[in-house]
Amino acid sequence: MSRRLVLASASPRRLALLAQIGIVPDAVIAPEIDETPRKGEPPRALALRLARAKAAAPLPTPTPSFLLAADTIVAAGTRIIGKTADPDEARRALTLLSGRRHRVITAVILAAPDGRTAARICETTVAFARLDRAQLDSYLATNEWQGKAGAYAIQGKAAAFIRHISGSHSNVVGLPLFETAQLLRGFGWRIP
């Protein structure tokens, strides 16, 4: 059976997290999918739908390969906070998260060359400190918020805002490693 792995994500964080557990994908693709939530779609359902859409992307080579896809959603209650497009949108997102708890939900899908698939969903609760205007201005000036669900990077300067997390730290970074390793092991991978 093929042991080629394709990562359906352009996220450098996901590549780094996989490398942390000794997994280096043979190829990376960046599927173009519409990430717009459907009306009334719950955050968990959205994460799973988007990960499945990425897993259905065509492979760059006809060689049989496993395909690993994931999607991360940040939710304050039922409100979904996606990747912010500009500093004003990032400010609104961070203001919403300030002083409260939110959830980071990642759906991970592994598709085998024989058509079998398996999925895991990981949810982590993150408690943010209350942010004042100077903290917001300083953080926004770093541009670290760009391309990040929820407009922050826990592995960067925003770590200073995190009072508490309950659950997987790697999930908040972008890929829950325990759940990902479980999926790979379930399909016969040996994780170093």
Max CA pair span of the chain: 55
Contact assessment for residue 52 and residue 68, using Cβ atoms and an 8 Å cutoff:
no
Q: Is 74 helix (H, G, I), strand (E, B) or coil?
A: strand
Show which residues are catalytic. Answer: 71
Residues 184 and 167: their CA atoms lie apart, in Å, by 20
**75 has which bridge partners?**
80, 103
Q: Give 83's DSSP letter.
A: B
Q: What's the rounded Cα separation, in Å, for the pair 68 and 28? A: 10
Q: Is the dihedral of CA 158, 160, 166, 167 positive or negative?
A: positive
CA–CA separation, 13 and 74 (whole Å): 16
Answer whether 65's CB lies under 8 Å from 4's CB.
yes
Q: Could you give the C-alpha distances from 72 to 78, 121, 148, 167, in angstroms and in order?
A: 15, 10, 9, 14
